[in-house]
Amino acid sequence: MMKLRYVLLTLVVTFSSLSVATDKPSTAATEVRLKRLSTELRCLVCQNSTLADSDAELAQDLRNEIRTLIDGGKTDEEVVAFLVARYGDFVTFRPPVNANTALLWFGPFIMLFIGALVLILMLKKRSAVLGAEP
Amino acid sequence: MRLKALIPFVLFIILIAFLGKGLFLNPREVPSPLVGKPAPNFTAPILGDATKTFSNADMKGKVWMLNIWASWCAACRDEHSLLLEMRKYDLPLYGMAYKDVEQDAIDVLAKMGNPYIVTATDQDGRIGIDYGVYGVPETYLIDQSGIIRYKQIGPITPMDLREKILPLLKELNS
């Protein structure tokens, strides 16, 4: 009885894994481009991993979609544009410089500038105080 | 002199405000680039009757709502009763069973009630990709000219309905 249960469980596990989406077969050249592209793209389900690393079903679907696009003769830029049009700049790990992301790109430099300004002002004041002493 | 001593404190409060805001942002809510754009075209078989199809083009000239859900999605159960309640508003609600086993979806609707006028099916998730779906349920409010005016990621809460969806619906219908 236990044995039968075990066999049934094994069967269930085996066949349930078969129904999960799988990566569709493709050519080596497509795979190379897919690999490069998908390490630059974010998986939206598990947000901090790339499309290449993710096992989420959506990531698999998107990889298959990218394969179809590549085989359809689309350039890398067109593939990225396809995904950005649907999921937004968030899918790219290197967000483009635009009005939305300006603060992200230039914010640190603004902070650095403010910090430097404060430092210079304080140093000037300090030397003035020190210079005034006998 | 006393005012100057307050500067670090004020900066600290501003920093805390930013961090506090960040703490309450939902990282799953990624602003959709589709809001303000035409709803992607699709023609999909209808749940339970694959001989018929439903297309977004059928809804031209009407304000309507597309709710993408699945029987395997637990969060979809959470909003189900709200969707049923929403039938009292003048807002046609259409469903899309996303990557679902047809019979499972039919069973859920039979058991919990069917809030949808029609449920289409997206078996392979291709329509979902066009709509930028990454976590069901997702809901789209589409206006008379077929433009997506609002996207809800995750279940609709009574607060979303009251503060975002209903005011927008009123504005679109006026």
Identify whether residues A109 and A79 lie together within a single domain. no
Of A18, A19, A22, whose CA–CA distance to A60 is shortest? A22
**Based on the domain organization, do A71 and A112 belong to the same domain?**
no
A44 and A78 both lie in a single domain: yes
The answer, yes or no, to whether residue A8 has pLDDT greater than 90, is no
User: Residues B76, B135: contact at Cβ < 8 Å?
Assistant: no
Which B residues, 14 through 33, put their C-beta within 8 Å of a C-beta on chain A?
27-28, 30-33
Residue A52, in any domain of the structure: yes
Mean pLDDT of B114-137: 90
The answer to whether residue B59 scores a pLDDT higher than 70 is yes
Calculate how close chain A gets to B132, using CA atoms only, in Å: 5
Structure confidence at residue A7 (pLDDT): 61
For the record, the structure tokens of B139 come out as: 């809901």
Residue A2: band (very low, low, confident or very high) from pLDDT cuts 50, 70, 90: low
Residue type, B12: F
Integer Cα distance of A63 and A57 in angstroms: 10
Long-range contacts of B166-171 (CB under 8 A, 24+ apart): B166/B89, B168/B141, B169/B63, B169/B89, B169/B90, B169/B91, B169/B141
> Cβ distance B63 to B91 under 8 Å?
yes
Q: What is the pLDDT of residues B15-25, one digit of tens each?
A: 999 999 888 87
Residues A125 and A68 in one domain: no
A110 and A77 together in one domain:
no
pLDDT band at B136, cuts 50/70/90? confident
| A85 and A41 co-located in one domain | yes
Q: Is residue A1 part of a domain?
A: no
The answer as to whether A34 is a domain residue is yes
Question: How high is the pLDDT of residue B12?
Answer: 94
Calpha distance A60→A66 (Å, rounded): 10
Q: Report the 10 Å Cβ neighbour count for A61.
A: 17
Please tell me if residue B11 touches chain A, with a CB cutoff of 8 Å: no
- Can you give the CATH number for the domain in which A64 is found? 1.10.8.640
Q: How confident is the model at residue B172 (pLDDT cuts 50, 70, 90)?
A: confident
> Domain check: are A37 and A77 in the same one?
yes
Across the interface, of B32, B33, B129, the residue whose CB is closest to A62 is B129
| A120: in domain | yes
Where residue B119 falls among pLDDT bands split at 50, 70, 90? very high
Q: Does B102 touch chain A (CB under 8 A)?
A: no
- Res A110: pLDDT: 95
| Residue % of chain A over a pLDDT of 70 | 79
Same domain, A52 and A109: no
Query: Looking at residue A35, what is its pLDDT?
Result: 85
Q: Between chains, do B134 and A57 touch, taking CB under 8 Å as contact? A: no
Q: Which residues pair with B46 in a beta bridge?
A: B49, B120
- Higher confidence at residue A36 or residue B127? B127
Question: Mean pLDDT, to the nearest integer, of B77-104?
Answer: 91
In A, which residues are within 8 Å of B126 by CB distance? 65
Q: In whole numbers, what is the pLDDT of chain B averaged over residues?
A: 89
Question: pLDDT at position A133, please?
Answer: 65
On whether any CB of chain B is under 8 Å from the CB of A88, the answer is yes
Kindly tell me if the per-residue pLDDT of A132 is higher than 50.
Answer: yes
Q: How many domains does chain A have?
A: 2
Average pLDDT over residues B133-146: 90
Beta bridge partners of B152: B139
Structural domain contains residue A44: yes
Distances (CA, A) of B109 to A2, A57, B47, B50, B93: 37, 24, 11, 17, 14
Nearest to B98 by CA among B126, B78, B77: B126
Residue A3 domain-assigned (yes or no): no
Residues of chain B above pLDDT 90, percent: 55
- Segment 134-153 of chain B within 8 Å of chain A by CB: 134-135
> How far are the Cα atoms of A10, A45, B167 from residue B157, in angstroms, in the given order?
41, 21, 15
What pLDDT does residue B111 have?
92
Q: Residue B147 carries which DSSP code?
A: B
In a domain, A77, yes or no: yes
Name chain A contacts of B125, Cβ cutoff 8 Å.
Answer: 57-58, 61
Phi then psi for residue B150, to 5 deg, are: -155, 140
With respect to residue A13, please indicate whether it lies within any of the assigned structural domains: no
Q: pTM of the predicted model, to two decimals?
A: 0.74
Query: Which CATH number applies to B34-173?
Result: 3.40.30.10
Q: Tell me if A88 and B129 make a contact (CB, 8 A cut-off).
A: no
How does residue B83 score in pLDDT terms, banded at 50, 70 and 90?
Answer: very high
pLDDT digits (tens, 9 = 90+) for A9-61: 555 555 544 444 566 667 788 888 888 888 888 888 877 788 888 888 888 88
* Whole-number Å distance between alpha carbons of A28 and B82: 49
**Is A106 found in the same domain as A76?**
no
* Omega prior to B33 cis, within 30 of 0: no
Q: What does the block give as tokens for B105?
A: 């979806």
pLDDT of residue A19: 43
**A64: containing domain:** 23-96
Q: Are residues A79 and A32 in the same domain?
A: yes
A89 and A113 in a single domain? The answer is no
